[in-house]
Amino acid sequence: MVSFLVGLVVLLVGGYLYGKFCERVFAPDARTTPAYAMADGVNFVPMKRWKNALIELLNIAGTGPVLGPIQGILFGPIAFLLIPIGCVLGGAVHDYFSGMLSLRNRGEQMPGLMKRFMGKGVFHVYNVFVCLLMFLVGVVFIYTPGDMLAGSVLGFSTSFVDAKTGAAVPWEALVPLLAIYALILLYYLVATVFPIDKIIGRVYPIFGAILLLSAVGVFIGLFVGGGIFTLSEAWGPWPAWVNDGVIGQAFGGTWANIVPMFFITVACGIVSGFHSTQACIIARSVNSEFEGRKTFYMMMILEGFIAMIWAAAAMVVYSSGAAEAGVTGATAVVGIIARSFLGDVGGIVAILGVVVLAITSGDTALRSLRLMLADYFHIDQVKRAKRILLAVAIFVPVAVVLVYSKTDPNGFNVMWRYFSFANETCAVFAFALITVYLFGRRKPWAMTLVPGCFYMFVVSSYLLNAKIGFGLDWPAAYAAAGVLTAAYAALVVRAGLVRRRRIESGEIDPAALETPDDTAEKAGE
């Protein structure tokens, strides 16, 4: 219990103080934001601060702060400390600077920022990873909410293959699941094509209420049901299920390999490259730079709070033995947690809250992908017909991969591994970009270089060891990852030095790259 409460203090107090520090480093001012300077009624649309913050939270949350911590707690109660420390020093910093850099640079998406600060070579490489990530987020966040609605709420079959016989499930038994997938896809298409304030800006307050009710309900349930008093401490002894094969079954390793496995597993609950893409969307709707800390930094802290709640609830459930037989099925554990803490009715509300998390990330992920592809191929997105055609070109392969992942018994696991790797790799790129920006301005660049190096080590050691990668044993993977991390640090510092020299020599005028303030009168309209 003490570890959990200490973690909450670190998250909330540390987040408040370090968020203030990040704000001082960036130094927001009263310049006109892209929402006014580039207003187009579609993507650049001013919205109220509370609405921007709520949309940002729902965009970045996904199932990351739920499914990730449910699996991450299998590494033990050390998760109660790693999650808040990672959020404060890594995830929230990543989100804040990504959003603020977009604000300063005409609301550009991450690929545009990457090209501006890191050059065309890095831009092309990053574009591959980020488009793959957006695509996989779209697929994953149709799969998971669809399965939870069909299975945990409505009681329908969610598998295309019979687990016992290996035979294909009759298509008529899958009609409800397919219908749910189709409805989610249809909503995604509408949310992807229509102006952000017409669909997303109107339905998100309802989704936000469901999300907050579910999270608060589980949090209260921890105390009312006495579950808070059964939580183990990070300093031991740890629950028996941490060392009795559960980790090996779920992750193919032991808790000793907490780096990289824990950080790849929890992903969005600590640091997520996906978040930077979502911050850039909201940057096009923010009224003032002074709203940035609460809109970007503090929403990641709130996501960390949600992650802590579900991690604690999962520990209570695992310790009771109720989920021993299905520890790798995080979506099933969501249902067990919800009903254990909130009863049948409250449990359904909590499950709907998790469904909302997924849906409100999937829609904006595919919206981001549309915008990125449009920017890359210079496709006009003001005309509705062109938006629809590009969206359809994205949604057809999404549907194909979704069906494949359901027909292959191991399809989702493979897809999730690629998603996690692409997600953290995009974060490594984002940390490099931010570091170069800070270096050029003679600001404390180490605050982003250090987490960038850490996650470079995480993604490289994971890829070098994993079956989907090079399959090296851990000592070799760690040694090679150390070399790659050192090379990453050297290249980032070199890029920062080059940018600083170009700024100080007058070759680059940084003010010319940022949103002009010659339309300041619009901010008062």
Least confident of 91-105, 211-225, 402-416: 402-416
**So what's the pLDDT on residue 512?**
59
Q: 342: Cβ–Cβ under 8 A, 6 or more apart, which residues?
A: 217, 218, 221, 349, 350
Asked if 150 and 158 count as a contact pair (C-beta separation under 8 A), the reply is yes
Q: At residue 16, does pLDDT exceed 70?
A: yes
Burial class (CB in 10 A: 0-12, 13-18, 19+), 378: exposed
Q: 66: Cβ–Cβ under 8 A, 6 or more apart, which residues?
A: 306, 307, 310, 330, 334, 354, 357
Amino acid code (one letter) for 292: G
CA-CA distance, 219 to 71, in Å (whole number)? 18
**So what's the pLDDT on residue 164?**
65
User: CA torsion 299→301→306→312, rounded to 10°?
Assistant: 180
Q: At residue 511, does pLDDT exceed 70?
A: no
**So what's the pLDDT on residue 524?**
28
Q: Which of 53-67, 126-140, 229-243, 328-342 has the highest mean pLDDT?
A: 126-140
Alpha helices in 237-329 (DSSP H): 240-241, 247-251, 258-266, 273-282, 292, 298-320
Least confident of 8-12, 412-416, 499-503: 412-416
Q: At residue 7, does pLDDT exceed 90?
A: yes
**So what's the pLDDT on residue 118?**
92
Give this prediction's pTM. 0.87
pLDDT in tens, 465-479: 988 789 999 999 999
Average confidence (pLDDT) over 356-375: 81
CA-CA distance, 278 to 56, in Å (whole number)? 7
Of 205 and 274, more confident: 274
Average confidence (pLDDT) over 16-44: 92
DSSP class of residue 233 equals: P
H/E segment holding residue 114: helix 110-118
pLDDT-derived band at 430 (thresholds 50, 70, 90) equals: very high
* Partner residues linked to 168 by β-bridges: 161
Amino acid code (one letter) for 445: W
Tally of CB atoms within 10 A around 518: 9
H/E segment holding residue 499: helix 474-504
- Of 431, 486, 421, nearest to 128 by C-alpha is 421
Joined tokens for residue 378: 């210079």
User: CA torsion 510→364→305→315, rounded to 10°?
Assistant: -130
**So what's the pLDDT on residue 261?**
86
**So what's the pLDDT on residue 140?**
87
- Of 73, 134, 128, 518, nearest to 307 by C-alpha is 73
Amino acid code (one letter) for 496: G
Joined tokens for residue 482: 């150390």
Least confident of 49-63, 274-288, 324-338: 324-338
Average confidence (pLDDT) over 354-383: 81
Whether cis (ω within 30° of 0) applies to the bond prior to 260 is: yes
Q: At residue 322, does pLDDT exceed 80?
A: no
pLDDT in tens, 62-110: 777 888 888 888 888 899 999 999 999 999 999 999 999 999 999 998 9
**So what's the pLDDT on residue 329?**
59
Tally of CB atoms within 10 A around 25: 18
Average confidence (pLDDT) over 255-270: 84
Percent of the chain with pLDDT over 70: 88
**So what's the pLDDT on residue 405?**
83
**So what's the pLDDT on residue 513?**
57
CA-CA distance, 411 to 416, in Å (whole number)? 9
**So what's the pLDDT on residue 33?**
93
CA-CA distance, 479 to 482, in Å (whole number)? 5
**So what's the pLDDT on residue 59?**
81
Q: List Cα–Cα distances, 321 to 231, 288, 324, in angstroms.
A: 14, 50, 5
Asked if 199 and 46 count as a contact pair (C-beta separation under 8 A), the reply is no
Tally of CB atoms within 10 A around 138: 28
- Of 260, 164, 196, nearest to 59 by C-alpha is 196
- Tell me what the pLDDT averaged over the chain comes to: 84
Q: At residue 287, does pLDDT exceed 60?
A: yes
